Amino acid sequence: MGSNSLYGPLDPAPDAGYPDAPPRMGFFTDTSVCIGCKACEVACKEWNAIPEDGFNLLGQSYDNTGGLTANSWRHVAFIEQPGSSAAGSSAAQTAMVASTTQPQTGTAPGIPPAIDALAAAGTAGPQFLGMPQSDLPGRTADAPRTDFRWLMMSNVCKHCTHAGCLDVCPTGALFRSEFGTVVVQEDICNGCGYCIPACPYGVIDRREEDGRAWKCTLCYDRIGDGLTPACAQACPTQSIQYGELDELRTRAAARVESLQAQGESSARLYGHSEDDGVGGDGAFFLLLDEPEVYGLPPDPVVTTKDLPDMWKRAGLAALVMAASVAVSFLGRRP
Amino acid sequence: MAEAHPVGFQWVVEAKNRGAKVIHVDPRFTRTSALAHTYVPVRAGADIAFLGGIVNYILSNEKDFREYVLAYTNASSIVSDDFQDTEDLDGLFSGFNDETKAYDESSWMYAGHEEHGRGHGDSHTDRETASAQQHESHGAPLPADVRRDPTLQDPRCVYQILKRHYRRYTPEVVEQLCGVPADKFLEVCEAWTANSGRERTTALVYSVGWTQHSVGVQYIRTGAIIQLLLGNMGRPGGGVLALRGHASIQGSTDIPTLFNLLPGYLPMPHHEKHETFDQWIDDIRHPGQKGFWANAEAYAVSLLKAYFGEGATAENHWGYDWLPRLTGDHGTYRQALDMIDGKIKGYFLLGQNPAVGSAHGRAQRLGMANLDWLVVRDLYMIESATFWKNGPEVATGEITPETCRTEVFLFPAASHAEKEGTFTQTQRLLQWREKAVEPPGDARSDLWFFYHLGKRIRARLASSILKRDQPIKNLTWEYGGYEPSGEAVLQEINGFDLTTGKPLSSFNEMKADGTTSGGCWIYTGVFADGVNQAARRKPGNEQNWVAPEWGWAWPANRRTLYNRASADPDGNPWSERKAYVWWDAGKGEWTGADVPDFEKKKPPSYRPPEGASGVDAISGDDAFIMQGDGKGWLFVPSGLIDGPMPTHYEPAESIVRNPLYGQQANPTRKVYDRTDNLTNPSPPQKHSEVFPYVFSTSRLTEHHTAGGMSRQLAYLSELQPEMFVEVSPALAAERGLEHLGWAHIVTARAAIEAKVLVTERLTPLRLEGRIIHQIWLPYHWGSEGLVTGDSANDLIGITLDPNVLIQESKVGTCDIQPGRRPTGKPLLAYVAEYQRRAGLLPGKDADGQQ
């Protein structure tokens, strides 16, 4: 086990024991060219034979999926941002008050719904309409916008360098693939559900019908054969790009630079840095606003970050306990 | 485009990434607007004012590409002294006949040729038969010798007439009419003109948001005028591109599923105008006219040889008398009304779902409920097969399943992946596709169905001596064994030299003596050398940038029409950057990246001798070779029912008075004035306030048209699970509509209900000092499938464009109220009450007085 095995920069596949691991593969999702067509959602479901997720009109703009769940491994978020002139109009407020809908996730009863960060962002206030209001992050007074914006983003499992879900899985159902991705094996998962609170993004989720945990596999059964994952293959505008992570990071940096040169000053990357709380994401994003606007946690940290410390302390405690037990026995004279 | 054509939109994204500026003009903020640099909200139904404003901007600032305009358009042509403009006649052009609501077009003609103009009687007949559709491949007939003023100073020249016509379409008027702020409008004008000229070209992409209006053809005409003035036609990166509503809609007009056309835009014979073969041919080729239509007889004879084979002989005029004859309007909407009236007994529906997808759904369903038999071929049990037991009229008691007389036969059909064939897309590119999987169960292709239906009918008629059965008996009908071959059909379309049995390679090889056949002359060459050219798939990086070896484009594998215009009058490219097709003086021929749209060896300096006709009369700088005068038409002297230049008319249903003219709406629009097809009142009529809002309908990315291919699929249905209506926050406040609550929408035809989405993507427009609210509805839902709901098309009445008989379904007026609509018989009473208040019930005014 390397010194960075639980936190910090790392190439996960060799660390997991693949001696000749192929390059780490991942997704770069460029939201600046997403047209919200949801072809990724459909292609993912077709390839992976995922059940439908219910026919529910959610009223969150054009998002009727609600979030990443056991039955939706890609999720396109739609964020309507009024221009500053329109924000706060009394009519808008009146209409917004009308909405109290919250999305239902596929989680089994008794287990709290997966913490879908997007839904959480959306339902933070009681008036959420699928169109974030003027007080959401990212719209600061020093960078006001006059134009209405409609942001779209295809969200997916991040395939973290340090994956909390994998670290806590007691059965080995979750494993690190040779491509550096994180995959659940449905025939091994026993449905314990430990992985669900372990994910800092609220991605992995249990399916109501069978109790097992499901999430994006980065199409493990395609990429091994040299195929592109279904979502990236279906994306008409190359918003979802699949490839070697190093190359994607270079491509993404150039894209941000070119967007900023075109005046898109709010363009930024999310999940690209090895120095973030999860050691960098295998699936990272180009965003046009603060992560919170899209329902992404601004500073995710792997939940098992402190595991070594905890183990050390637990070990120490155990030693102390053992010693005291020994001492108590030793102290006896028959 | 991103909403309805997401796959095609990838190229817009690609262009944007390379620095192109994307402008989106639309009544509502869509997924396309989200990716555009500039979004321009516009009032639905006011596009001619918007585009006319751009024409005015170009002309008053002299931003036109003058050399191009002089050489290749009819700007310098002199129009008859008798012509009077809508500016002179308060919204009418000269020649209007109030009785037939049609124009005598002789005053629109070029000076000295007035006798060639179409009279109002002919114009009326042509409206009934939508004859303007013939012009998809060529202009209307016209004499070759036209007087011109190359200085463009003559007040009767097209340039000056155009300038006067659009003079009042100022940015201020555009703002007042369209609700577009003047600065945003000027931004569009500047972007468009700055990106046109020698070095740059601009493409114009439109879709049914332009076509489905009572002035739909004139919308596109206005776009075409701009593109001609800016020199964007016949050049790379230019053009006017129609995005079609389905795969191969272009193909279904080339090989038409229309009542008024034969393949290759040959007119369906009319019982009075085309009694004899010679009358028919002369009406197409117009003896003495210049251009390629002079060979029309060869195309027509080859078609009849393809239809009737050995049976078509010189003695029987190639079987001309076996062709059916038009007697008037047999368009799809006339048919629906004729069904209601009991004039039509049987009906075939092939992949079409009029109960949901056609305007005035109630008329469609009531019509189909009054047939003897109905054959529906579709992938699923669609609404048009179950209207008699599950349609909305069953609930209202207008259709009783037990007594509904229509016998419905549902045949399971093969989908596009389950059969072979071609798609023809908007660039006229034919792409062959293979069968990927066998169709499930009893599902069969349409080709299989009609092949075997034909065989059975022919077997039944084998011994018939009745005259009416001769056409069927004489048809050539061999396309393979049990499973007919799509390639055999494509070969028949391509045509053969009947003396050698070899496939033709060009329509220039067609002959009028019966020695050639060909099912669609413009497609000849698709099987050149016996090879299925449409199946070619050479990668782009292995050929030149025009990629001529990917699929096959009509005509003659030419990718850009009229590409002679990509070179200047002397035959040199306008610029290095935009070089495309040019004259190689050394070799003495036209050359370039594409197939030149010109006689290969005719030099730019060629001038026709006195009295020349046909192809010989085309001058070396007549780039628009299929036009009667060889020029692109800024002004249409003949061929359009509603005027030589586009003029702003309000939609048939509008909440505002036409601010420009006394004439409110298109005076020649096709109306069906019946009690079951009422039209909401518009100013200056009384009671227009009963329907105070504008509505428009269109598609969602997640569904396909009437839902037959998407509402049956869980993965698509879950993405947009319910019928909804989009309203602005301001309108929601005005009407008390709650987000995700119910609302119902009412017109003189119907009341439908939907969930409310309140969104700032819809913006109220300020117009004439008042606020105009626009409402938007998707039209995908019906009573069958995994997700069901009311149909937006039930709201729409039948009013048609006079040129091509397309319905006005992109704009109408309505009321919207919170809560669900009534059900059962009270629904009829509820709508009737609106009709009464609007003064639409016969013999009564709105106060109920007799």
- Does residue A26 contact residue A245 with C-beta atoms inside 8 Å? yes
Q: Locate the chain B residue with the closest alpha carbon to A258.
A: B17
Interface contact flag, B33 A61, Cβ < 8 Å: no
Q: How far A11 CA sits from the closest chain B CA (Å)?
A: 32
Residue among B2, B31, B760 minimizing CB distance to A92: B760
Contacts of A59 in chain B (CB under 8 A): 739-740, 755, 757
Strands (E), B299-384: 346-350, 373-378
Query: At which residue do the structure tokens 């070759």 appear?
Result: B144
Torsion of CA B377, B381, B383, B388, to 10 degrees: 100
Name which of B7, B701, B739 is nearest A59 (Cβ-Cβ). Answer: B739
Q: What is the mean pLDDT of chain B?
A: 94
Q: What is the mean pLDDT of residues A145-158?
A: 88
The pLDDT assigned to B138 comes to 64
B737 in contact with chain A, both atoms CB, cutoff 8 A = yes
- Computed over every residue of chain A, the mean pLDDT equals 83
Q: Does residue A3 register a pLDDT over 70? A: no
The amino acid that residue B366 corresponds to is L
Chain B nearest C-alpha distance from A38 (Å): 8
With a pLDDT cut of 70, the percent of chain A lying above it is: 79
The answer on pLDDT for B701 being more than 60 is: yes
Strand partners, B591: B582
Q: Are B10 and A148 in contact (CB < 8 Å)?
A: no
A/B interface, count of CB pairs below 8 Å = 132
Contact B730 A150 (CB under 8 A): no
CB contact under 8 A, A33 and B13: yes
Cα(B830)–Cα(B821) distance, rounded to whole angstroms?
9
How near does any CA of chain A get to the CA of B561, in Å? 28
Residue A98 has pLDDT above 50, yes or no: no
pLDDT band with cut points at 50, 70 and 90 for residue A86: very low
Q: What is the pTM of this model?
A: 0.91
CB-based contact B740 A80, cutoff 8 Å: no
Alpha-carbon span B28 to B761, nearest angstrom: 6
- Whether residue A55 and residue B718 make contact (CB cut-off 8 A), yes or no, is yes
Q: Among A41, A95, A147, select the one facing B739 at the smallest CB separation.
A: A95
**Residue B355: how many other CB atoms lie within 10 Å:** 31
Is A53 close to B718, i.e. CB distance below 8 A?
Answer: yes
DSSP calls for B107-140: GGSBTT-GGGSPPHHHHHHHHHTTGGGGGGSSPP
What is the CB-side half-sphere exposure of residue B361 using CA atoms within 13 A?
27
The minimum CA-CA distance between A238 and chain B, rounded to whole Å, is 8
Tell if the CB–CB gap between A62 and B733 is shorter than 8 Å.
no
CA dist., res. A25 & res. A11, Å (int): 11
Q: Does B788 touch chain A (CB under 8 A)?
A: no
> Judging by DSSP bridges, how do beta strands B346-350 and B266-267 pair with one another?
unpaired
Inter-chain touch A94–B757, beta carbons under 8 Å: no
Q: Measure the CA–CA gap between B271 and B125, rounded to whole angstroms.
A: 11
| Cross-chain residue pair B721–A64, CB shorter than 8 Å | yes
List the beta bridge partners of residue A286: A30, A269
Tell me: pLDDT of A139 over 70: no
pLDDT (0 to 100) of residue A205: 97
B552: Cα separation from own chain's centroid: 22
**Matching residue, tokens 């769940």:** A69
CB contacts, 8 Å: B714 with chain A: 52
Distance of alpha carbon A206 from alpha carbon A114, whole angstroms: 9
The confidence band for B291, taking pLDDT boundaries of 50, 70 and 90, is confident
pLDDT(A144) > 70? no
The strand ranges marked E within B371-477 are: 373-378, 407-412, 421-424, 429-433
Contact A98 B718 (CB under 8 A): no
- What are the two backbone dihedrals, phi and then psi, of residue B177, each rounded to the nearest 5 degrees? -90, -40
Query: What is the pLDDT, as a whole number, of residue A127?
Result: 39
How many Å apart are CA B227 and CA B54, to the nearest integer?
11
Q: Cβ(B793)–Cβ(B356) under 8 Å?
A: yes
| A42–B716 CB contact, under 8 Å | yes
The CA-to-CA distance between both ends of chain A, in Å, stands at 45
**B790, B765, B785: which is closest to B697 by C-alpha?**
B790
Q: In what order do the strands lie in the sheet with A240-244?
A: A240-244, A25-30, A283-287, A268-270
For residue A148, the chain B residues in CB contact (below 8 A) are: 29, 39, 760-761
Instruction: List all residues 6 or more positions away from B372 whose beta carbon is below 8 Å from its beta carbon.
Output: B345, B346, B405, B406, B407
B818 vs chain A: nearest CA distance in angstroms?
13
Q: Percent of chain B having pLDDT more than 70?
A: 98
| Confidence tier at B246 by pLDDT (50, 70, 90) | confident
Contact A86 B760 (CB under 8 A): yes
Tell me the C-alpha to C-alpha distance, in Å, between residue B7 and each of B519, B742, B819. 32, 33, 37
Task: For chain A, give percent helix, strand, coil, nearest 5.
Answer: 30, 15, 55
CB B362 within 8 A of CB B782: no
Question: For residue B77, what pLDDT is reported?
Answer: 97
Question: The dihedral of CA A106, A112, A116, A118: what is its sign?
Answer: positive
How many angstroms separate the CA of residue A27 from the nearest CA in chain B? 19
- The reply to whether residue A99 touches residue B724, judged by beta carbons under 8 angstroms, is no
For residue A101, is pLDDT > 80? no
Separation CA B480–CA B458 (nearest Å)? 16
- The mean pLDDT value for A180-197 works out to 96
Q: Give the pLDDT confidence score for residue A196 in this predicted structure.
A: 96
- Give the residue on A whose Cα is nearest the Cα of B722: A57
CB contact under 8 A, A62 and B732: no
B721: chain A residues, CB-CB within 8 Å? 55-57, 64
Instruction: Tell me the pLDDT tens digit for each residue of B66-93.
Output: 999 999 999 999 999 999 999 999 999 9
Helix B332-340 to helix B361-368 angle (10° resolution) is 60
State the Cα–Cα distance between residues B222 and B243, nearest whole angstrom.
Answer: 17
At A142, the pLDDT band (50, 70, 90 cuts) reads very low
Nearest to B242 by CA among B224, B258, B268: B224
Q: Name which of A41-55, A106-120, A177-191 the model is least confident about.
A: A106-120
Query: Which of residues 2 through 31 in chain B touch A, CB cutoff 8 A?
Result: 2, 6-7, 9-10, 13, 16-17, 29, 31
Are A59 and B757 a contacting pair at CB < 8 A?
Answer: yes
Over residues B544-595, the pLDDT tens digits come to 999 999 999 999 999 999 999 999 999 999 999 999 999 999 999 999 999 9
Collect all residues of chain B within an 8 Å Cβ-Cβ radius of residue A102.
none
Contact B146, B629 (CB under 8 A): yes
The answer to whether the CB of B623 falls within 8 A of the CB of B562 is yes
* Distance between B70 CA and the closest CA of chain A, angstroms: 38
Task: Report the alpha-carbon distance of residue B465 to residue B446 in Å, rounded.
Answer: 29
Q: Is the interface score ipTM higher than 0.95?
A: no
Which residue of chain B has the CA closest to A76?
B719
Establish if B819 touches chain A: CB-CB under 8 angstroms: no
Q: How far apart are CA B783 and CA B355, in angstroms?
A: 10
Residue A59 pLDDT level (bands cut at 50, 70, 90): very high
What residue ranges in B392-428 does DSSP mark as E strands?
A: 407-412, 421-424
CB contact under 8 A, A45 and B716: no
Q: Which residues 699-718 of B are in CB contact (within 8 Å) with A?
A: 700-702, 714-718
